[in-house]
Amino acid sequence: MSSQPMDPERHEHLQRAARDNLWMHFTRMSSYQDHDVPVIVKGEGAYIYDAQGRRYLDGLAGLFVSQLGHGRTELAEAAAKQAAELAFFPLWSYAHPSAIELSERIAGYAPGDLNRVFFTTGGGEAVESAWKLAKNYFKLTGRPLKHKVISRAIAYHGTTQGALSITGLPPLKQMFEPLVPSTFRVPNTNFYRASEFGSPHYHDESERGVPRGAGGPAGASLEAFGRWAADQIAVAIENEGPDTVAAVFLEPVQNAGGCFPPPPGYFQRVREICDEYDVLLVSDEVICAFGRLGHMFGAERYGYQPDIITFAKGVTSGYSPLGGMIATDRLMEPFLHGPETFLHGYTFGGHPVSSAVALANLDVFEREGINQHVLDNEGAFRATLERLLDLPIVGDVRGDGYFYGIELVKDKATKETFDENESERLLRGFLSKALFENGLYCRADDRGDPVIQLSPPLICDQSHFDEIEEILRKVLTEAASLL
């Protein structure tokens, strides 16, 4: 299916201007010297259309954003109405109805006493805000040395200097060093690639010899691995000195590296450790909140109570930018007395138009039962993607909800992965382009081991899953033959 191609003159003008003036994000600009920049002009449901009128399934919801899919006039109208009524006013000592109502709504969804919503314009700012709040809170409550942050290897938490410092991807950081000091990495929950994690870390001898899951070292259960991975946080806190550690930043399902869900019991153990050392648990839900895992928040799905949740992306389904953090009453308490003030803010944080759009977005979530739709269909999505495991190049399919990573391997039996050159040729040279040419927009990523990431709009159903599988099967089969 296709739509009307763009007028050729306009198309040519856009191509020239894109090359001459537009600096695209995380983009190797040289690759567009001899190729057209893909220009997306329209979206409808789960599909997007380019300037030539070609249609693509939006397998990544833009960038883990478009929960409700494209072309929802109701959200566009909410934006227009708010812009006409009050286009802008800051939340600096003043408020406006849409931000107030949205804070109440979000606090109502958030688990426990996560009642205090601080708005930003996106995810990186939400992460910055959470770290600053953690530092400020401990300074006000008599533990001024607590300032360090622990996060996981390969995890992505944003690009501003604090958030980048928390990010666990050295290649993304090198050009910007020195970053904000005082962040430390612990292992993530990649069971497929977990090497032997050693007997001292088994807390219960009965866990030995439990049959292993799909991946993992021989003799290790997923639960034991999760316990070990969580305990590494305690080890890091001890190594750094508990008096100096303020927070642990973790995604419910880690995105970078290709969707690592938490092993059973992982977050429960992390919560225990955080309580023991008085360290704040920050659930970075910039991707995982608002339906991606079939719940408003990932913490609900895995049954843990964070001290702070960071969110962005899906809160508006991308119809306007917005992010924020939700803090517990305990964390706001010191700021409720006398002159104490959280000296932090963003001009556009909680923008009236974005807040109104978020309210309209959440109305649709309720009315159409979006979370239930994800829960009802996630099994079918998984089963459809798992059909690809018959291909020699597909090593692992992992994730939850509408959020999956497919790890590609050179040798399935040994799990041998690709070297840098092969990865470059496979992912950049062939896969990304071939998937797009075959009608699937998704992400081929090598920030960890090479994976294809899928995170489609939450309205997708079996017909979309089949289409995704069909295109992946064709392209991955061809990729394997090129190796």
Which of 146, 148, 157, 398 is the binder for ligand PLP (CB under 6 A)? Answer: 157
> Does residue 258 interact with ligand PLP by CB under 6 A?
no
Which region among 10-18, 117-125, 229-237, 421-429 touches ligand PLP (by CB under 6 A)? Answer: 117-125
Nearest residue to 130 (alpha-carbon basis) of 300, 234, 248: 248
**How far apart (Å, rounded) are the C-alpha atoms in residues 314 and 294?**
12
Question: From CA 197, how far away is CA 93, in angstroms rounded?
Answer: 51
List the x/- string, 279-298, binding to ligand PLP by CB under 6 A: -----x-xx-----------
The region of 39-47, 52-60, 156-164, 378-386 touching ligand PLP under the rule CB under 6 A is 156-164
CB-based burial, 60-98: b 16+ in 10 Å, e otherwise: bbbebbbbbbbebeebeebbeebeeeeeeebbeeeebeb
Contact status: 124 vs ligand PLP (CB under 6 A):
yes
Nearer to ligand PLP, 51 or 134 (CB): 134
C-alpha separations of 17 from 23, 35, 83 in Å: 10, 14, 29
Query: Does the footprint of ligand PLP cover residue 128 (CB under 6 A)?
Result: no
The reply on whether position 122 binds ligand PLP by CB under 6 A is: yes
| Chosen residue from 50, 58, 231, 251 binding ligand PLP by CB under 6 A | 251
Burial class (CB in 10 A: 0-12, 13-18, 19+), 42: middle
Residue 98 binds ligand PLP, judged by CB under 6 A: no
Residue 133 sits in the site that holds ligand PLP (CB under 6 A): no
Q: Which is nearer to ligand PLP, 215 or 318 (CB)?
A: 318
Which uninterrupted H or E stretch holds 400?
strand 394-400
Give 416's DSSP letter.
Answer: B
- Report d(CA 289, CA 297) in Å as an integer: 4
The verdict on 231 binding ligand PLP (CB under 6 A) reads: no
Restricting to residues 288-347, name those near ligand PLP by CB under 6 A.
312, 323
Task: Select the residue interacting with ligand PLP from 127, 222, 360, 475 (CB under 6 A).
Answer: 127
247 binds ligand PLP (CB under 6 A): no
Minimum CB distance to ligand PLP, residue 199 (Å): 33
Provide the 8-state DSSP code for 4. Answer: P
Q: Which residue is nearest to ligand PLP (CB)?
A: 123
Binding part of the chain for ligand PLP, among 12-20, 94-102, 121-129, 270-278 by CB under 6 A, reads 121-129
Distance CA 420, CA 436 (A): 22
Other C-beta atoms closer than 10 Å to the C-beta of 268 total 16
Q: Does 158 bind ligand PLP (CB under 6 A)?
A: yes
- By CB under 6 A, is residue 255 in contact with ligand PLP? yes
451 binds ligand PLP (CB under 6 A): no
For ligand PLP, the closer of residues 324 and 395 by Cβ is 324
Measured CA to CA, the distance from residue 140 to residue 44 in angstroms comes to 49
The answer to whether residue 248 forms part of the interface with ligand PLP (CB under 6 A) is no
Residue from 118, 119, 156, 202 touching ligand PLP (CB under 6 A): that is 156
Please give the Cα distance from 452 to 434 (Å, whole number). 13
Considering beta carbons, is residue 228 or 348 the nearer one to ligand PLP?
Answer: 348
Whole-number Å distance between alpha carbons of 230 and 6: 53
Rounded Cα–Cα distance for residues 227 and 203 (Å): 8
Rounded to the nearest whole angstrom, what is the least distance from the CB of residue 354 to ligand PLP in the complex?
A: 12
Stretch that binds ligand PLP, among 83-91, 151-159, 344-352, 438-446 (CB under 6 A): 151-159
3 state SS of 186: strand
Asked if 305 and 112 count as a contact pair (C-beta separation under 8 A), the reply is: yes
Total binding residues for ligand PLP by CB under 6 A? 14
Three-state SS at 73: helix
Q: Which of 123, 252, 349, 399 binds ligand PLP (CB under 6 A)?
A: 123
Tell me the window of 153-161, 232-240, 347-355, 383-391 that interacts with ligand PLP (CB under 6 A).
Answer: 153-161
Nearer to ligand PLP, 124 or 448 (CB): 124
Residue 160 in contact with residue 130, Cβ under 8 Å? no
Six token digits for residue 41: 């002009």
β-bridge mates for residue 407, sequence order: 396, 451
Biggest CA pair distance of the chain: 71
Q: Which residues of 189-212 are buried (b: 16+ CB within 10 A; e: fewer)?
A: bbbbbbeebeeebbeeeebeeeeb
- Which positions touch ligand PLP (CB under 6 A)? 122-124, 127, 156-158, 251, 255, 284, 286-287, 312, 323
